[in-house]
Amino acid sequence: MNRERGRTITVGETMATASATRPGPLRHAGLLELSTAGAESTVAIGLTRLGHDCTYLTRVGDDELGRLVVTTLRGEGLDLVARVDESRRTGLMLREQRTSGRVRGEYWRAGSAASALSTGDVDALDFDGVSLVHVTGITLALSPSCAGAVERLVARAREVNATVSLDVNHRDGLWSRADAATALSRVVASCDIVFASADEVELLGVTTAEELLEQGPSVVAVTDGGGVATVTTAAGTVEATPPAVTLVDPLGAGDAFVVGYLSGHLDGLAVEDALARAVSVAAVGVSTRGDWEGLPRRDELRPGSRGRLTADEP
């Protein structure tokens, strides 16, 4: 596989986050820390840190939380396209930590600025030199206009012969399983790489990764909540077990896995080596607080190590 020397484009919602500084119910937290979170922006940050060019499209409100999102993402060096919506608010997530390794999020995102993302936003993007497009089921679920934006992005990717990656990332609170299955199936047929949990594979109407390959993708990566991860292609299935780490914050683990695998793909690594990088990056992600804050940088990848992190990392 040759290294893809092009840009990645992804689209989605980045919310401001207010996280309790100590374990326990949010009402007793006392102090909250502000940050940001979003599946696609975590992938964009992670790929940028690993040396890949990445464009991220979103919408924010004309408010302090929106300015927090913009400042944070631009500070990470990615190519940010943020439309400011003066009529809608930036989404917000409240996070509480009940026990070590158990974090709960409460979302205030209905009618948010990002839920108004549209095909027009996608059409305004520059697709010159794009080799990879990444989308998730979360943005598909936010609103009809968001679903249209995702489908248009995938269609544009096909026009420029870019690889299309989909993280199913199903959220019960956003839509029903029936609605999710219908919308996701349309996108899966145009995808090259699909990331899913074992439960999400069944959501797509099949029971195995091999069956999912028959719907169109050439690569299906399945994760199992910190256990063995597998990647299935026409050549067979490879698996990897993540290194042992102290679990601090499980939110964002799947996104970190996607970062590692897509980075390996963009670097032209063999499937098993891209998978090795994926589980290593995910292990770092869950061993630090926040969705993206602890993601590794390029100089933390050891040459010749099949994509794994340096010895002083998990």
Number of helical (H) and strand (E) elements in the chain, helices listed first = 10, 13
Spatial contact of 299 and 309, defined as CB atoms under 8 Å apart: no
Compute the C-alpha angle 249/254/260, nearest 5°: 110
> Backbone dihedral region of 225: left (phi > 0), alpha (psi from -120 to 50 degrees) or beta?
left
Q: Is 53 among the catalytic positions?
A: no
Q: What strand order describes the sheet that includes 92-99?
A: 32-37, 15-20, 92-99, 102-108
The residue from 255, 267, 273, 291 that is catalytic is 255
Q: What Å distances lie between residue 174 and 118, 129, 179, CA to CA?
A: 18, 33, 10
> Quick one: tokens of 156?
């544009």
Spatial contact of 167 and 11, defined as CB atoms under 8 Å apart: no
Spatial contact of 14 and 114, defined as CB atoms under 8 Å apart: yes
Spatial contact of 136 and 167, defined as CB atoms under 8 Å apart: yes
DSSP state of 28: G
User: How many CB atoms are closer than 10 A to CB 181?
Assistant: 16
- Which of helix, strand or coil describes residue 190? coil
Residues annotated as catalytic are 255
